[in-house]
Each structure stands twice: as C-alpha cells, then as structure tokens.
Structure 1
Amino acid sequence: MMKLRDYEIGIAKLSNKKHVYEFVLDDDFFEEFGKEIILGGHMAAEVELDKTESLLTFHFNVRGHVRLTCDRSLEEFDYPLEVEATFRIKYGDENLELDDDLWQITSNTQSINIAQHLYDYIGLALPMKKLHPRFVEEDEDEEDDDQDILIYSSRTGADTDEDEDDEDDADPRWDALRNLN
C-alpha cells in the first residue's frame, strides 16, 4: 500500500511566490481511502500553491477518470471527471478548520498533506446518481417525459357545473357547516 506522505507539501522553506506540483492519483491512492465510493481510477492533479506572508492558496486542477459502481445494474464503469477547486490556509494562533475551504494553521507548521483534500474534491464532483453510460440515454428520455406532465391547472368558468356535481357527491355531514355562513 502506498503512503499518503507522497502528497505532503513542505511549506516551511518555500519562498513567497507561486509553486506548481503534479501528482498522479491511481488505484493505490483511492485504495487508501477505502472502496465504498470510488473503486479506483487514474487522474492527474496539478496543484498550484500561491504562498504569501499570511496566506497559502491552493488551486487544484484534477482530470482523468474514476471507476464507479452503477446504481442501477451494479456494474463497474469508468466515469470521466474534471475538478477545479480552491483551498486557502491562513496563519493564526492555533490549528482550526474555519470553513470547508479555509483552514488556520500555526506559523511553525512544516508541511501540509493535500491527499484528503484531493479525494474530497473528487468525491464532491461525482454525480448523485451513478449510471453506467448505456443507461444515461434512457434516463434522459425519462426526464424529458417528466417535463410533459401537467402539474398545475386552474379551472375556468366553464368548469363551474362540475363543482356543483362535486358538492352533491360530498359527505352530507358537511352541509350543516356550509349553512353557518
């Protein structure tokens, strides 16, 4: 099994400028996180780190494909994926997660491991409904059919005769309440 140390970026000795890193995310990478969501894949990640005195800005650009399980047939298939995300780290008194895409670290932090961030951004880019490509056209046809369904209608003046018929079919116990007006 591969170690996630390959995804550590030493920030202590970096100068204040832009730095570019390239990583390969293969089956060994995805295996480190388990196979519940993503079974495997092959992706290339380009990470641009813009370091300033008070802020680290990571720009992730990940392209490739992941292997998923179809929700309908349980078959494995390759799903092409392209992810672009930004993550920021600022310096402060303690290590905190301030927001999903903003962390705070102490100034004596030596390195940042971005493996979990890469995996999370890939996971967030996956579709909610994972369908094998052969089912995608069928599913799109069903969505088109759903658009033809009438959801709301209002009655016009010509429909008032039907209202009177509906009142006759109503429960007679409600007649006493209608007469209270």
Structure 2
Amino acid sequence: MKKLKDYEIGIAKLSNRTHKYEFTLNDDFFEEFGKEIILGGKLKADVELDKTESLLTFHFDITGHVRLTCDRSLEEFDHPVDVQATFRIKYGEENAELDDDLWQITPNTQTINIAQHLYDYIGLSLPMKKLHPRFVEEDEEEEANDQDILIYTSRTDAGTDEDDDEDDTDPRWDALRNLN
C-alpha cells in the first residue's frame, strides 16, 4: 500500500481551476492489487482535475498496454489499453458513494487517492474473453459463422397465426385467466 501513496492528490490547498497530473502505471502498481486479472503493464495516465467550490471533476486518459493471460492457451500477452473516463466528487455531510462515477466527501477531506479508480477503469476496458492476438481472428470467424445457425426453437410449426396459438394453450393457464 505504500506504493499507492504516489497516487494521492492533495485537494485541500488546490485553487479553483484546472490542475493536470501525470502518473506512470507499471508492474509495481499492479502488484498492489494482486495478479488475478492484470499481471503487469506499462501505462501513462493523464489526469485533469477541474476544481470548483462544490465539485471536483477528474478526467482520466489512460494509454499503454497491460499483460494478460490468454484464456485459451494460458500464454501471457500484451493487450493495448486506451481509456477515457470521467469521475466526479461533490462535497456533502458524509463520505458516500452516490453512483459509479459520483462520490460525496466531507469538506475537511485533505487528499484523494485515485489508484483504485485507475485500476478499475483499466479493468473495465479489458475484454471478457482474453485471447492472444493470434487467436482473435480465428475467434471472430467462428462468431460470424455461429450467427447464422439456429440453435433451438420452441415452436413446432412456424406458419401459424396468433389466433391458432390460443387454441393450443395449456388448460391450466385457461383456468388461471378465468380467475380475474
């Protein structure tokens, strides 16, 4: 957690204007969060903080690459990352998370640590299926072919009207409809 102190922004003494910060995210950064999803990486995070009397608006621009494990071959590979995100913090009576991208803090809060936000935005940009680049084209072809195949249908006759369907209903449903 000591390494995450580098990602703290002292907001108490900042003037009401736009402030710019640049952070480097490397293997040490990702080690602090464990290596279950992201094994490492090299990214640059440009953070722009717009401070007003009642609101802090963080604009994140994160670019670089992260090292992932392929779901198919279990090989490590570099995946490009390009994230733009906005996060807002407003002042209020208590510390609370009001929404995914809106927090509330007390006016006497001195610093904001953005490390978790950086990690979360990177994690959200990753694909659900992590494939080595040599498998991506093959997987896209399989998905294109699978779109034309009908897997299952519950209708036995495709040419009937809706009126005909009413005659084929289960008598238990008819009994329930009569309860109105």
TM range (shorter): 0.7 to 0.9
Deviation at 1:99, TM superposition (A): 1.0
Superposition deviation, residue 150 in structure 1:
3.9
Between the aligned partners of 1:150 and 1:108, the Cα distance in structure 2 is 60
CA distance in 2, matches of 1:17, 1:131: 43
Partner deviation per Cα, 1:153-181 (whole Å, 9 max, x = no partner):
96459xxxxxxxxxxxxxxxxxxxxxxxx
1:2 is displaced (CA, Å) by: 5.7
Amino acid at match of 2:27: D
Q: How does 1:113-128 map to 2 (within 5 A)?
A: 113-128=113-128
5+ residue gaps, structure 2: 161-180
The equivalent of 2:83 in structure 1 is 83
Give the alignment's Cα RMSD to 1 decimal: 1.7
Give the match's secondary structure for 2:149: coil
Q: Within the alignment, does 1:109 sit opposite 2:125 as a pair?
A: no
1:2/1:29 contact within 8 Å kept? no
Deviation digits for residues 110-135 of structure 1, max 9, x if unmatched? Answer: 11000000001101111000000010
Tell me the residue number matched to 1:146.
146
Note the C-alpha offset of 1:149.
Answer: 1.5
Give the distance between the partners of 1:9 and 1:92, measured in 2 at CA: 19
Q: Is the 8 A contact 1:2 1:28 kept in 2?
A: no
Q: Which residue of 2 aligns with 1:30?
A: 30
* Residue-pair matches, total: 157
Q: What amino acid is the match of 2:26?
A: D
In the alignment, is the contact (CA less than 8 A) between 2:16 and 2:51 conserved in 1?
yes
Deviation at 1:148, TM superposition (A): 2.1
Q: 1:15 to 1:147 in 2, by over 3 A?
A: same
Question: What is aligned with 2:130?
Answer: 130
Normalised by the size of structure 1, how large is the TM-score? 0.82
CA distance in 2 between counterparts of 1:19 and 1:127 reads 32
TM-aligned CA distance change 1:27 to 1:96, over 3 Å: same
Q: List per-residue Cα deviations over 1:36-72 (Å, max 9, x = no partner).
A: 0000000000000000000000000000000000000
Give the whole-Å Cα distance in 2 for the aligned partners of 1:130 and 1:81. Answer: 13
**What's the TM-score once normalised by structure 2's chain length?**
0.83
Deviation at 1:144, TM superposition (A): 1.2
Please state if 1:14 is matched with 2:22.
no
Counterpart residue type for residue 49 of structure 2: L
Q: Percent identity?
A: 80
Distance 1:35 1:102 in 2: 27
Map of 1:160 onto structure 2: none
Aligned partner letter, 2:148? D
Aligned to 1:69: 69
Equivalent residue for 1:59? 59
| CA distance in 2 between partners of 1:113 and 1:46 (Å) | 15
| Aligned residue type for 2:134 | R
Task: State the match for 1:98 in structure 2.
Answer: 98
Corresponding residue of 1:177: none
